[in-house]
Amino acid sequence: SQTIHQWPATLVQPVGSPLSLECTVEGTSNPNLYWYRQAAGRGLQLLFYSVGIGQISSEVPQNLSASRPQDRQFILSSKKLLLSDSGFYLCAWSGLAGYEQYFGPGTRLTVT
């Protein structure tokens, strides 16, 4: 069966510090991968998605970036965090058709 992992589960970082969140998927090949963010009390906002290694599409211009160095690995990064980057970050995967997306446990990021 397929499993999606995210780490860390929680993170507290000062403004201006770098960020690296990792997501890995097991039990499937060639998944579509997604990064979402959910601000407190808000809906989910898609940040990036990827249909293959090295292929990244950005939905919202901001100080975040994403990379997909391996088929089942998706990384979210920032060189300098802003207060507004605080939120609940979710990684998800889907098959090629994308009918069903499966979400990871999420990382709760607090920027202080």
DSSP 28-52: -SS-EEEEEEE-TTS-EEEEEEEEE
Q: How many residues lie near other proteins (CB under 8 A)?
A: 27
Q: How far is the CB of 55 from other proteins (least distance, A)?
A: 11
3-state DSSP helix/strand/coil % of the chain, to nearest 5: 5, 60, 40
Q: Which two tokens stand for residue 90?
A: 């979710």
Instruction: Determine, following the binding rule CB under 8 A, whether residue 98 of this chain makes contact with other proteins.
Output: yes
Candidate residues 3, 57, 63, 70; the one interacting with other proteins per rule CB under 8 A:
57
Which residue, 32 or 67, is less far from other proteins as judged by CB?
A: 32
Q: How far is the CB of 13 from other proteins (least distance, A)?
A: 19
Q: How far is the CB of 106 from other proteins (least distance, A)?
A: 5
Place of tokens 């990684």: 91
Cβ neighbors of 97 (< 8 A, separation 6 or more) are: none
Instruction: Determine, following the binding rule CB under 8 A, whether residue 97 of this chain makes contact with other proteins.
Output: yes
8 Å CB contact between 4 and 102: yes
Which residue, 25 or 92, is less far from other proteins as judged by CB?
A: 92
> What is the DSSP-derived secondary structure letter of residue 31?
-
Candidate residues 16, 27, 59, 82; the one interacting with other proteins per rule CB under 8 A:
59
Q: How far is the CB of 47 from other proteins (least distance, A)?
A: 9
